[in-house]
């Protein structure tokens, strides 16, 4: 099979679970898989399973994975003909995409022009609005910086201030009192400059208690574009997703068709190539507005794979190889329900503070409809060098209730000792009546802080746990087992 591809080796310019995920498909297709790795990841699963692994260096581990020149040199060293960027790091870096293509390699993603268009939120929003698709009422600083504050006031409250560049919730501010508007604008500008090197802003009407719904799209270089249905990503903390599912419990079939066709229309207008995700803010009354487009594979793509049977990495490789999609919109169907849980090394009860430590024991869940995508193994270590997400648990059921029941069992079966994770928190979350009813929004966790708080243990349980923990340590164990000197002096004598 591999001889039919225009490239024989694919280098994954990433780490962790996504590197493992991409390598799995690459090798299944008969291609060779290569990875780059920092010394902090030398024993990672992706490094072990790759056909080639090249060490890269940097002032920090993250800096190494952002060094495009080093990554290109690694690709050449192993004879790679294509680079898959995964998500994060250089996946939406137009300059890196251009450098890959300039070196005669295939970038498994969209064109650099498409990355630039959708990577700038202001440009993307303007493009979408001119193409006739729905956007929220807003004001853009670039249109006339001198009148930006006044135009922002006219949009009205509540107001959301956003940096033009970047993502992940950084620099975003919600304003409900116009008396603090100018102060919040300056704070947002400062954060945008600090995180992205770009202080430009725009504001838009903030939709109270909105849902976050995104649509997976695929486009080839022959002009074909389809959607692969939607994902609901409303359960978030600090503008970061925690739980994603498909289909969305908020959508009727009519709304589902409208929002998915809108996403496909936006991608079609941009002549989009490869996999991408169009994201929307969805209001309580059924209205929806374009939020942004991510020009890469999403963390949450497995739920789409589980309900449609489409291997999205395989489709990315085919498109990058110059093939047509080979299927029409009517050929894509979705069956059952799937939910993904991001397993974080963090303490939800302490403000979702990241945790670190050795992975002393790891027993992933198993069973029908259970998928575990992970970049860590027993014997490894969770450090503060990278994002705290260490694995993804994906469950599939015949319907949403079935998926939730399977998820609860799978989370209960998940054992990871050595550092605190959010699995117990996730069980509390999916047991909440509002989640069970599908009645969630992006502020759901803020409105229900008790879900994050660890339940108070009964005194007798706490004492038993402390005793067990104490007796599991060597000094305490030795002290408990030691024979007092007086008794030891008796020797073998017995009465």
Please say if the pLDDT value at position 204 is more than 60.
Answer: yes
> 137-205 sits in which CATH class?
alpha beta
pLDDT of residue 166: 66
pLDDT of residue 167: 66
What is 211-451's CATH number, 3.10.20.30, 3.40.50.1100, 3.40.50.2300, 3.30.470.20? 3.30.470.20
pLDDT of residue 489: 72
pLDDT of residue 195: 84
Helix (H) or strand (E) holding 34: strand 32-37
pLDDT of residue 290: 96
| Average pLDDT score over residue span 416-425 | 97
Give the least confident one: 138-152, 363-377, 436-450, 457-471: 457-471
Q: How many Å is the maximal CA-CA distance in the chain?
A: 100
Question: pTM for the full model?
Answer: 0.88
pLDDT band at residue 494 under the 50/70/90 scheme: low
Q: Where are the alpha helices (DSSP H) in 50-204?
A: 61-65, 68-77, 94-102, 112-119, 121-130, 148-155, 181-196
Please say if the pLDDT value at position 331 is more than 90.
Answer: yes
Mean residue pLDDT of the chain comes to 94
- Specify whether domain 9-108 bears CATH 3.40.50.20: yes
* Cβ atoms 101, 107 nearer than 8 A: yes
DSSP for residue 346 = E
Residue 120 CA, distance from chain mean position: 20
* Cβ atoms 71, 89 nearer than 8 A: no
* CA distance linking residue 46 with residue 37, whole number of Å: 9
Question: Residue ranges per domain, the chain?
Answer: 9-108, 137-205, 211-451, 459-494
Q: Where are the alpha helices (DSSP H) in 50-134?
A: 61-65, 68-77, 94-102, 112-119, 121-130
Please say if the pLDDT value at position 471 is more than 50.
Answer: yes
C-alpha pair distances (Å), 468 with each of 97, 289, 347, 372, 423: 54, 54, 22, 30, 22
Looking only at the bridges linking them, the beta strands covering 274-282 and 346-347 are: unpaired
Please say if the pLDDT value at position 476 is more than 70.
Answer: yes
Token pair listed for 63: 């800096």
320 vs 1, more confident: 320
pLDDT of residue 84: 98
Give the least confident one: 120-129, 249-258, 419-428, 441-450: 120-129
* CA distance linking residue 363 with residue 348, whole number of Å: 21
* Cβ atoms 319, 298 nearer than 8 A: no
Q: For residue 180, how many other CB atoms are within 10 A of its CB?
A: 12
| Average pLDDT score over residue span 197-208 | 89
Give the 3-state secondary structure of residue 30.
coil
Contacts of 420 (CB under 8 A, 6+ apart): 345, 346, 347, 355
Contacts of 168 (CB under 8 A, 6+ apart): 239, 240
C-alpha pair distances (Å), 440 with each of 6, 211, 358, 473: 45, 7, 35, 44
| Average pLDDT score over residue span 457-470 | 83
DSSP for residue 237 = E
Helix (H) or strand (E) holding 139: strand 138-140
C-alpha pair distances (Å), 262 with each of 112, 180, 230: 23, 36, 11
* CA distance linking residue 365 with residue 33, whole number of Å: 27
* Cβ atoms 9, 27 nearer than 8 A: no
Sign (positive or negative) of CA dihedral 122, 120, 441, 250? positive
Looking only at the bridges linking them, the beta strands covering 173-175 and 159-163 are: antiparallel
Looking only at the bridges linking them, the beta strands covering 138-140 and 201-205 are: antiparallel
C-alpha pair distances (Å), 258 with each of 43, 126, 197, 245, 447: 46, 21, 37, 18, 30
Query: CA dihedral in degrees (475, 478, 479, 482; nearest 10)?
Result: -160
* CA distance linking residue 425 with residue 446, whole number of Å: 14
Please say if the pLDDT value at position 281 is more than 60.
Answer: yes
Please say if the pLDDT value at position 493 is more than 80.
Answer: no
pLDDT band at residue 319 under the 50/70/90 scheme: very high
Length of the chain: 495
* CA distance linking residue 30 with residue 342, whole number of Å: 30
Looking only at the bridges linking them, the beta strands covering 346-347 and 288-294 are: unpaired
| E runs forming strands in 240-344 | 240-246, 274-282, 288-294, 337-344
Tracing tokens 């620099």 back to the chain, one arrives at 171
Give the 3-state secondary structure of residue 196.
helix
pLDDT of residue 2: 42
Token pair listed for 444: 């759901």
- Write out pLDDT tens, residues 58-114: 999 999 999 999 999 999 999 999 999 999 999 999 999 999 999 999 999 999 999
* CA distance linking residue 261 with residue 267, whole number of Å: 10
- Write out pLDDT tens, residues 159-189: 999 888 766 677 889 999 999 999 999 999 9
Token pair listed for 463: 């004492």
Query: CA dihedral in degrees (310, 329, 108, 336; nearest 10)?
Result: -30
* CA distance linking residue 479 with residue 273, whole number of Å: 67
């Amino acid at each position: 099979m591999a001889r039919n591809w225009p490239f024989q080796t694919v280098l994954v310019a990433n780490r962790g679970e996504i590197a493992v995920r991409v390598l799995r498909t690459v090798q299944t297709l008969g291609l060779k898989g290569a990875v780059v790795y920092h010394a902090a990841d030398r024993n990672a699963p992706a490094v072990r399973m790759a056909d080639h692994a090249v060490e890269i260096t940097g002032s920090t581990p993250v800096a190494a994975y952002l060094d495009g020149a080093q990554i290109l040199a690694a690709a050449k060293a192993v004879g790679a003909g294509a680079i898959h960027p995964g998500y994060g790091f250089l996946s939406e870096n137009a300059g890196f995409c251009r450098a890959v293509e300039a070196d005669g390699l295939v970038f498994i993603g969209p064109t650099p022009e498409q990355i630039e268009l959708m990577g700038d939120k202001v440009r993307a929003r303007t493009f979408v609005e001119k193409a006739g698709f729905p956007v929220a009422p807003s004001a853009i600083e670039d249109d006339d910086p001198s009148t930006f504050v006044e135009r922002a006031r006219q949009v009205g409250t509540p107001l959301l201030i956003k940096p033009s560049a970047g993502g992940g919730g950084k620099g975003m501010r919600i304003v409900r009192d116009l008396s603090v508007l100018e102060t919040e604008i300056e704070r947002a500008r400062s954060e945008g400059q600090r995180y992205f090197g770009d202080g430009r802003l725009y504001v838009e009407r903030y939709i109270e208690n909105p849902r976050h719904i995104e649509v997976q799209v695929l486009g080839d270089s022959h002009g074909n574009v389809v959607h692969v249905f939607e994902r609901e990503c409303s359960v978030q903390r600090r503008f970061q997703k925690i739980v994603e599912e498909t289909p969305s419990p908020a959508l009727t079939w009519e709304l589902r068709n409208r929002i998915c066709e809108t996403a496909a229309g936006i991608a079609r207008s941009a002549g989009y190539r490869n996999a991408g995700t169009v994201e929307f803010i969805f209001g309580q009354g059924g209205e929806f507005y374009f939020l942004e487009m991510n020009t890469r594979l999403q963390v949450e793509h497995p739920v789409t794979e589980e309900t449609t049977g489409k291997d999205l990495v395989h489709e990315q490789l085919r498109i990058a190889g110059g093939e047509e999609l080979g299927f029409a919109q009517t050929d894509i169907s979705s069956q059952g329900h799937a939910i993904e849980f991001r397993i974080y090394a963090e303490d939800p009860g302490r403000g979702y503070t990241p945790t670190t430590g050795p992975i002393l024991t790891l027993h992933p869940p198993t069973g029908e409809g259970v998928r575990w995508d992970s970049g860590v193994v027993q014997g490894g270590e969770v450090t503060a060098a990278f994002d705290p997400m260490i694995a993804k648990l994906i469950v599939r059921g015949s319907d949403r209730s079935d998926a939730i029941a399977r998820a609860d069992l799978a989370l209960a079966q998940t054992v990871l000792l050595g550092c605190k994770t959010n699995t117990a928190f996730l069980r509390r979350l999916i047991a909440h009546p509002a989640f069970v009813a599908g009645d969630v929004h992006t502020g759901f966790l803020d409105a229900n802080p008790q879900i994050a708080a660890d339940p108070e243990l009964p005194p007798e349980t706490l004492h038993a746990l402390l005793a067990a923990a104490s007796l599991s340590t060597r000094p305490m164990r030795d002290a408990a087992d030691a024979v007092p000197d007086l008794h030891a002096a008796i020797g073998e004598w017995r009465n």
